[in-house]
Amino acid sequence: MKYYLVAGEASGDLHGANLMKALKEKDPDAEFRFFGGDLMLAEGGTLVKHYSEMAYMGFIEVVANLRTIFKNLKACKEDIAVWQPDVLVLIDFPGFNLKVAEFAKANNILVYYYISPKVWAWNQKRVLRIKRIVDHLFCILPFEVDFYKDWGMEVDYVGNPLLDAVSAFKPNPDFRQHNQITDKKVIALLPGSRKQEISRLLPDMIAVAEKWPDYQFIIAGAPSFNQAYYDQYLQGSQIKLVFNSTYDLLNIAHAAIVASGTATLETALFNVPQVVVYKSSTISITIGRMVIRVKYISLVNLIMDSLVVKELIQQDCNPEKINEEISLILNDKIYRDNMLGNYSKLHQKMGKPGASEKTAGLIIKYAKKK
């Protein structure tokens, strides 16, 4: 079958790549065309648009880039119409993908949504739109099943694909030597994969690093940027930068400062105590606080429905408060052990790997019934 996938950010590229791998195992004749990234490209098929040209965060940033967004949306629709896939698989990225779903549904193309839009966080009435334009929805968070059921919608819970990625990870035995990492304890810096995230968060992270000379601070570089981009923030700093090695970095990390997003859950799955940070434009955060209906921003806290990891948002996201939290993680054994104990409960709640394989099987099963 012909599969068209649309992923608009780094996490979607990861999950899309794992799904493509599973689809190839179950469907030897699988053909792929997609909006995504380097990981999906490595699985084969045709990359139409890289996510680095698509990802914008915050209301103001989206408005400022509307022309580019609409241009990308038009290109995606036209490409789908020409290629005529058997199945369209949309991965998260709801602002863009729900519009693509509407187009595909109107043109009698099967629409499957992998990684449910977070409609439970805000604008819950979008569920009615999803019911109308999506043929099957595959959820990766346990509480989403009951949420959709309350709206009269049956969905498939497939587990979380991050478990697949983490379980498939094999540490690089030469990682420390290759990157000249000493035996000092490592603190990982994960400032995100978007330009807006990095520009707002990395300077604060670097300021904290200067307070801890007995530790090594290492940045997980986003694959869509290069050394030169990060050099503008580092300016002679001794902080190391690694690319395409986030899991290797987390595998040796003693603590982490992490931008809110998928990386917070990945960090917890590697049992690395962390502080979660988030900063957006003043207008964006004001609007967000008016419409968002959840208590937490990090996936760890959302899944556990409790404050497992500290969240420093907007004005609280500053070097002083980040440093206070890092100090607790590094120096307060009870505090650190409590976080790790909650991570253990998180592991139990999330279950076992297999989301990619399960989703691939269901996609093929449902498509053959049509």
- The per-residue pLDDT for 51 is 92
**Whole-number pLDDT of residue 66:** 67
Average pLDDT value for residue range 33-39:
96
Q: What is the mean pLDDT of the chain?
A: 91
pLDDT of residue 123: 65
* Whole-number Å distance between alpha carbons of 166 and 164: 6
Domains defined along the chain, listed by start: 2-159+354-369 (3.40.50.2000), 175-350 (3.40.50.2000)
Closest Cα partner for 102 from 121, 80, 125, 124?
A: 80
Containing 311, the helix (H) or strand (E) segment is strand 310-313
For 78-92, write each residue's pLDDT tens digit. 999 999 999 999 999
| 62 close to 69: Cβ distance less than 8 angstroms | yes
> Strand, coil or helix: what is 100?
helix
Structure-token pair, residue 307: 């404050």
Percent of the chain clearing pLDDT 70 (strictly above): 92
SS3 236: coil
Mean pLDDT of the region 197-203: 95
Quick one: pLDDT band at residue 62, thresholds 50, 70, 90?
A: low
Tell me the pLDDT tens digit for each residue of 210-259.
999 999 999 999 988 999 999 999 987 889 999 999 999 999 999 999 99
CA dist 339 and 344 (Å) reads: 9
The yes-or-no verdict on residue 281 having pLDDT over 60 is no
More confident residue, 219 or 294: 219
